[in-house]
Amino acid sequence: MALKLYGLPMSTCTTRVLACLHEKGVDFELVPVDVFSGEHKQPPFLSKNPFGQIPVLEDGDLTLFESRAITAYVAEKFKETGTDLIKHNNPKEAALVKVWMEVESQNFNSAISPIVFEHIVGPIMGKTADQAVIDANLEKLGKVLDVYESKLSITKYLAGDFYSLADLHHFPYTHYFMTTPWASLVNDRPHVKAWWEDVSSRPAFKKIVGAMTFGEG
């Protein structure tokens, strides 16, 4: 039975999982969730994710939420097919992948997501962007990207000289961020820029990027 992914192609967290499924070449069905009418806050969806958020993955009798936990599951379950995203046969490299997955989740995401929300998502929902929030997070993001610049001057990708989930997890928010007036934060750092060009030109992303027009998420 094919995996079922509940979500939307423009949602950052759904896209994170979609990219992983495409990297692994796994069959799946994308089940749209009508977040605009609040379907994700109704009991049928809350029974899949009590926090009322997309995405959710169903694999037979297993139901998962949290996009990064879902990608980790997919990468492990299908470790023999497609791109090895977790370095499953090398404990040291696997540990480094986990380190940089944490960095994305704890340092990068917390800086970049408020910028994308304030500049892109909020205005779509009729909310005026709060420039103070944007400015504070641009400063935070710049400091994180300074660390990335230094790391990426030593290794081609974040966890080492191999592409992994650590890189993949950055894709959705960076994609939207690069459409903002502050893309120079990436472009002015040569190693970060080269890394982003490499990461964003992968076939798995090219398959989903056309549907990433931000309406929600």
Among 3, 11, 151, 189, binds ligand GSH (CB under 6 A): 11
Residue 103 neighbours by CB under 8 Å, 6+ apart: 144, 158, 166
Handedness of CA 41, 207, 72, 146 (dihedral sign): negative
User: What CA–CA distance (Å, rounded) separates 207 from 217?
Assistant: 19
Which listed range, 11-19, 115-123, 182-190, 193-201, lies at the site for ligand GSH (CB under 6 A)?
A: 11-19
174 lies in the binding site for ligand GSH (CB under 6 A): no
For position 13 contacting ligand GSH by CB under 6 A, the verdict is: yes
Shortest Å distance, C-beta 206 to ligand GSH: 21
Tokens 């690069």 correspond to 178
Provide the residue type at 95 as one letter: A
Return the amino acid letter for 98.
K
Task: Answer whether the bond into residue 55 is a cis peptide, omega within 30°.
Answer: yes
By the rule CB under 6 A, 114 interacts with ligand GSH: no
User: What part of residues 25-84 is at the interface with ligand GSH (CB under 6 A)?
Assistant: 35, 40, 52-54, 66-68
| Total binding residues toward ligand GSH, as defined by CB under 6 A | 12
List of residues contacting ligand GSH (CB under 6 A): 11-13, 35, 40, 52-54, 66-68, 217
